[in-house]
């Protein structure tokens, strides 16, 4: 196999933040659930270590992973495996970032989301600057709600110039052209999330060179299509990998439609597909060489 991209989401479903629109806000996992999440993640990391072909991994936990030592450890371990092209995680960046010092920064990346109502602006900005100073590759984003706009503008002004700031259209929200223009001034790629993408029958790399994996190793093509392709740990998913069209009317989440072939987003985000960094946003100073290409799907 040339290369497999894996979106991993284990049983973890708890978060230290309290975003009003989120079902995982301030949710707690029981000690048993946390033990199960840790065991599942360690099993997954061991599988990647021995899989024998190039892999990229994006962790997309329901809640916040980096407050758990086993996610930090998995990111460090995976980043040091030479057949791992990129390992990234979606995070609210609430935890300190010194653990990145143990990782191979050629492979590690963070997809950070700023939640203005959950964390003081200065504290969040300081985290971003700390990442930049450490040479960690990361993107930062906000949800495009009107009440977030002043903070988003300020963040764009004060982030390191090479750091890409993305804006996600708020789910179900209709934007006037004027509002869209204001968000586009902050994120030149805002238009990508403004409307859901019609996807029915269109070729999508998921199910061929990209898969979603849960804590039991159940493999699906993506997080949004429930049909099971097989299991990671018994290898049964491999026989199911092939080109296929999307069975859903629409795809409205970046971690899905970035793989929808007709959109051409492997070019738009070349070298940073998983962590959502377009080329030209070079990340921390001097690490353009770290913008490794994600092997394109065939
Ligand atoms: S930080 Fe993310 S997971 Fe946590 S409550 Fe907010 S939206 Fe939910
Ligand atoms: S277009 Fe979106 S919903 Fe459809 S298969 Fe691809 S990732 Fe899944």
Q: What digits encode the pLDDT tens for the residues 188-228?
A: 999 999 999 999 999 999 999 999 999 999 999 999 999 99
pLDDT at 288: 40
Nearest to 259 by CA among 206, 181, 184: 206
Residue 276 falls inside a structural domain: no
Return the ligand number nearest the Cα of 26. Answer: 1
CB 11 within 8 A of CB 40: yes
263 lines ligand 1 (CB under 6 A): no
Residue 197 Cβ < 6 Å to ligand 2: no
Q: Using 50, 70 and 90 to split pLDDT, how confident is the model at 282?
A: low
203 exposure class (CB count in 10 Å sphere: 0-12, 13-18, 19+):
middle
Q: What are phi and psi of 251, to 5 degrees?
A: -130, 120
| Phi-psi domain of 75 (left: phi exceeds 0; alpha: psi -120 through 50; beta: other) | alpha
> What phi and psi values does residue 33 have, to the nearest 5 degrees?
-65, -40
- The answer to whether residue 62 sits within a structural domain is yes
Nearest CA to ligand 1 atom 5: 25
Q: Does the Cβ of 209 fall within 6 Å of ligand 2?
A: no
On whether residue 164 sits in a domain, the answer given is yes
What atom in ligand 1 is closest to the CA of residue 23? Answer: 8
Domain, as residue range, for 170: 4-268
d(CA 37, CA 10): 6
**Beta pairing class for 137-144 and 165-169:** parallel
Average pLDDT, the chain: 93
113 lines ligand 2 (CB under 6 A): no
**pLDDT for 22:** 86
Q: Is the pLDDT of residue 284 over 60?
A: no
Cα(253) to centroid(ligand 2), Å:
9
pTM for the whole structure: 0.93
Report yes or no on 261 lying in a domain: yes
Nearest ligand to the C-alpha atom of residue 202: 2
* CB of 156 closer than 8 Å to CB of 132: no
pLDDT at 23: 84
Distance CA 94, CA 209 (A): 32
Pocket test for ligand 2, best of 193, 198, 205, 248 (most atoms within 8 A of CB): 248
DSSP-derived letter for residue 115 is: -
Residue 286 scores a pLDDT above 70: no
pLDDT at position 287 over 70: no
Percent of the chain residues topping a pLDDT of 90? 88
Q: Which long-range contacts (CB under 8 A, 24 or more apart) does 184-191 make?
A: 186/149, 186/152, 186/153, 186/156, 187/141, 189/268, 189/278, 190/144
**Ligand 1 center from residue 168 Cα (angstroms):** 14
> Which tokens hold the place of 214?
């849960």
Indicate if the pLDDT at residue 293 is higher than 70.
no
Mean pLDDT across the stretch 232-249?
98
Residue 97 burial by Cβ neighbours in a 10 Å radius (0-12, 13-18, 19+): buried
User: pLDDT, tens digit, for every residue of 62-80?
Assistant: 999 999 999 999 999 999 9
Q: Tell how strand 108-113 and strand 137-144 pair up.
A: parallel
CA of 172 to the centre of ligand 2 (A): 18
Q: How far apart are the first and last CA of the chain?
A: 11
pLDDT of residue 280: 80
What pLDDT score was predicted for residue 92? 97
Tell me if 204 CB under 6 Å of ligand 2.
Answer: yes
Q: Is the pLDDT of residue 109 over 80?
A: yes
Using most ligand atoms within 8 A of CB, pick from 12, 15, 170 the residue to mutate for ligand 1: 15
- Per-residue confidence (pLDDT) for residue 291, from 0 to 100: 41
Residue 235 has pLDDT above 80, yes or no: yes
Ligand nearest to the CA of 265: 2
Residues 6 or more apart in contact with residue 30 via CB below 8 angstroms: none
63 lines ligand 1 (CB under 6 A): yes
CB atoms within 10 A of CB 31: 8
Among 67-81, 135-149, 156-170, 275-289, the minimum mean pLDDT is found in 275-289
Q: Which of 196, 197, 251 to mutate to test the pocket of ligand 2 (most atoms within 8 A of CB)?
A: 251
114 in any annotated domain: yes
Report, in angstroms and rounded to the nearest whole number, the Rg of the chain calculated over CA atoms: 18
Cβ atoms of 90 and 60 within 8 Å: the answer is yes
273: in domain: no
Would 233 be classed as within a structural domain?
yes
Where residue 139 falls among pLDDT bands split at 50, 70, 90?
Answer: very high
What's the number of domains the chain is made of? 1
The verdict on residue 275 lying in a domain is no
What are φ and ψ of residue 206, in 5° steps? Answer: -65, 145
Q: Give the CATH number for residue 46.
A: 3.20.20
- Closest ligand 2 atom to Cα of 210: 7
105 lines ligand 2 (CB under 6 A): no
């Amino acid at each position: 196999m040339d290369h497999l991209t894996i979106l991993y989401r284990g049983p973890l479903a708890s978060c230290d933040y309290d975003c009003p629109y989120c079902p995982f806000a301030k949710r707690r996992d029981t000690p048993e659930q946390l033990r199960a999440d840790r065991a599942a993640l360690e099993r997954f990391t061991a599988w990647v270590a021995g899989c024998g072909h190039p892999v990229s991994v994006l962790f997309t936990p329901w809640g916040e992973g980096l407050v758990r030592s086993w996610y930090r450890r998995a990111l460090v371990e995976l980043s040091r495996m030479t057949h791992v092209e990129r390992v990234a995680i979606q995070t609210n960046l609430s935890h300190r970032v010194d653990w990145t010092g143990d990782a191979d920064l050629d492979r590690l990346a963070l997809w950070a989301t700023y939640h203005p109502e959950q964390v003081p602006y200065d504290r969040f900005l300081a985290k971003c600057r700390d990442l930049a100073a450490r040479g960690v590759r990361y993107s930062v984003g906000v949800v495009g709600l009107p009440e977030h706009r002043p903070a988003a503008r300020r963040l764009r002004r004060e982030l390191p110039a090479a750091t890409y700031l993305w804006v996600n259209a708020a789910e179900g929200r209709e934007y006037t052209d004027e509002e869209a223009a204001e968000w586009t001034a902050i994120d030149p790629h805002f238009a990508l999330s403004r409307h859901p993408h019609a996807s029915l029958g269109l070729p999508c790399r998921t199910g061929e060179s990209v898969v979603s994996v849960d804590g039991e190793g159940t493999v699906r093509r993506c997080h949004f299509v429930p049909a099971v392709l097989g299991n990671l740990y018994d290898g049964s998913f491999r026989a199911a990998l092939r080109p296929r069209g999307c069975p859903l009317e629409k795809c409205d989440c970046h971690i899905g439609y970035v793989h929808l072939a007709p959109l051409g987003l492997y070019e738009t985000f070349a070298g940073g597909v998983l962590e959502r960094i377009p080329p030209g946003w070079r990340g921390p100073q001097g690490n353009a060489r770290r913008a490794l290409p994600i092997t394109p799907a065939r």
